[in-house]
Structure 1
Amino acid sequence: MDEEFDDRQPDQAEDGNGDNPLIFGRVLDGQGAGRPVTWDEARAWQPDGDGEVLWVHLCRTRPGVEEWLRELEISEPTRELLVSDKTRPRAFREGETLVATLRGINFNPDAQPEDMLSMQLWCDGKRLLTLRRLPLQTPRYVLKMIDRREAGPNDCGALITEITEAMITRMNRSIVDMNEHIDELEERDPEDDPEGMLEKIATIRRNCLGLKRHMGPMHEALEAISRVAPEWFEDHDRREIAESIDRLRRYLEDLDISKESAVVLMDDIRGRSIARNERTNYLLTIVAAIFLPLSFVTGLLGINVGGMPGVQDADAFWIVVGMCAAIFLAMLALFWKWKWL
């Protein structure tokens, strides 16, 4: 995986057409390169002794897929799995064949990271069939390696490990993007737009949960491939799968850290908001407590009954004002002494 590739620009060009399910097909020469094959050539291809391997990438919703699977004498339950939308990652061995369902990040336009795409694969050591419903970029990346003759896979085992490694690498890109968003939010002042920040953090948490929900079974599927794959899946292929499993485990741990960071940031913003509201309520309570005795005095002196003192005294108003000022200063002194201010 030395070559960088852009996750954000989906390559949806297809070699095939709607008349048949073939998206692309290659016959690997055992030296890291391969030649293109048509749908008819792929169906007629037979293994020979010079190390060639057939890889066909199919759209499982197009007509012709199930007919070819029957021609390959694939059992009915496996055929149903290969063309079904039950896409929970899994892997198992059936005789000398390996069957698996894998999931990758959806980088198609308007898609969310947690909207992962599935890809089924079937391999007997000489043929590798990969099937998908929606455009998936990972096979295209491996295809470019083969077409450029740049250290491409030379057998089915290497081909499977390259595909799984590319899928996992793309998962890491999504996790890195989420971590960058969290770092950006941590550097912002929560007072600027707390509601907007909370909305973005909630989106990050949903993405983390969605990715982990799918990546956990993916981890189990890769372990099953390493454990039950037939003999044509060689020891160095199992080591590569083990490395991919270890990387996926680290990514799952990174997801946990990202989720916890989002929770801490969300709690911090909410805590600041609660503290600000409590401070406002406290100040309003203090103001109300200070003006409560003043309101009582002015209300008492404002009653319209006979016998009110000072009604005929020109200085009575200023006496009341002075008394209110004294009460105000006394209340401030008491609150200061009680450390309420």
Structure 2
Amino acid sequence: MSGFAYVVARSGTREATPEEATRVRRGFVWIHLTNRDDHVQTWLRDTARLAPFVIDALTALETRPRCDQVDGGAVLNLRGKTRAAMQISDPLASVRLFVDGERVISVTRLHLDAIDVTRAAMTSGKVRDAGDLIASLADAITRQLDPEVADLGDSLDACEERLDARNAFELRRKVNADRRTAIGYRRFLYPQRIALENLAALPVRWLHDDDRLHIAAAADRAARMAEELEAIRERAALIHETLTDLRAELIDQRSLLIAVAAMVFLPLTFITGLFGMNVDGIPYAHHPGSFWVITGFSLAVAAGVAIYFVRRHWFR
């Protein structure tokens, strides 16, 4: 079982092992575990002595952002940015937390970038209690996701500037990828906003007024990102439709050119076929200037058909 722990006492903040942190009787402790083996559930049950409901919430494979009050504490699940390879439909890694005021136990399956930010705040002495820790983690998660959402919007802006039927295939792939990413982010950011709002409203003693303000700010940031992702999804759908229309218009134009060319050569094919028959009685068959007469007549017919289409504005 891998992980780390911090102990906050009057003398300051020090790093410890999870086993050492469980023996602390005074002060605040943060224990972080990586849930990649069966020892985590055993440790949570036998050493941390957590309730079965809390253990299930901390070790579940499939999770979504949530916040539930448990006696004087809370079970919290958040989603944040990770450097690990993720699926487009599931781009964010989860962190599960149990908070009871005197201790915070967090569990992750994949490394979260926000954990590093919170550890730095813990080491520098900015985090002194459970409320500070949760507020710092929520703030770090939403701040790291903000530029990711902004990049999706900038990517669509670039696609809109390049709207052209000749770039349709490349742009369609890019727009579809951005749309899938936006849907994956929004899938978790919308419930994350609700979870943070519920957390800020919990009637618990370990959340102070400034902690609630920071958590509410993180919830507002998550709400703004969820709204922007919804706008990105709608814009991507509109761009996709526009590209489809441009592509159809280009095909129509090319089909029109082919049709006009066919109409120009159709009478020529008839004339050459008529005078090219290998039968007796064809007029001017033995006349020395018949070839040039027929060629000139064919060119005149072709020019007449072309002028007709030009005057009918078929090329606009």
Establish whether TM, by shorter chain, passes 0.5: yes
7, 24, 30: which one pairs with 2:4? Answer: 24
Q: Distance in 1 between matches of 2:215 and 2:300?
A: 83
166, 170, 177: which one pairs with 1:196? Answer: 170
4+ residue segments displaced more than 6 Å: none
Aligned residues: 313
Aligned residue for 1:59?
34
200, 206, 229: which one pairs with 1:232? Answer: 206
Instruction: Using structure 1 for the length normalisation, give the TM-score.
Output: 0.83
100, 105, 114: which one pairs with 2:76? Answer: 100
User: Where do 5+ consecutive residues of structure 1 fail to align?
Assistant: 1-19
Matched, 1:91 2:67: yes
* Paired residues of 2:58 and 2:97 also in contact (CA < 8 A): yes
* Deviation by residue 1:257-305 (Cα, 9 ceiling, x = unmatched): 2223333433343333322222111111111111111111111122222
Aligned residue for 2:182?
208
Aligned residue for 2:267?
293
* Paired residues of 1:87 and 1:118 also in contact (CA < 8 A): yes
Q: Distance in 2 between matches of 1:182 and 1:333?
A: 44
Aligned residue for 1:258?
232
Q: Distance in 2 between matches of 1:337 and 1:189?
A: 31
User: Where do 5+ consecutive residues of structure 2 fail to align?
Assistant: none
Mark the CA change 1:30 to 1:271 in structure 2 (over 3 Å): closer, same or farther: farther
Q: Distance in 1 between matches of 2:58 and 2:308?
A: 80
Mark the CA change 1:174 to 1:35 in structure 2 (over 3 Å): closer, same or farther: same
Q: Which structure carries more helix by proportion?
A: 2
Amino acid at match of 2:53: P
Amino acid at match of 1:313: H
Aligned residue for 1:128?
104
Aligned residue for 1:12?
none
Q: Which has the higher contact order (CA 8 A, sep 6+)?
A: 1
Cα displacement (A) at 1:193: 4.6
39, 42, 50: which one pairs with 2:21? Answer: 42
RMSD: 2.3
Aligned residue for 1:272?
246
Matched, 1:75 2:55: no
Matched, 1:303 2:277: yes
Mark the CA change 1:171 to 1:53 in structure 2 (over 3 Å): closer, same or farther: same
Equivalent residue runs for 1:153-164 within 5 Å: 153-164=127-138
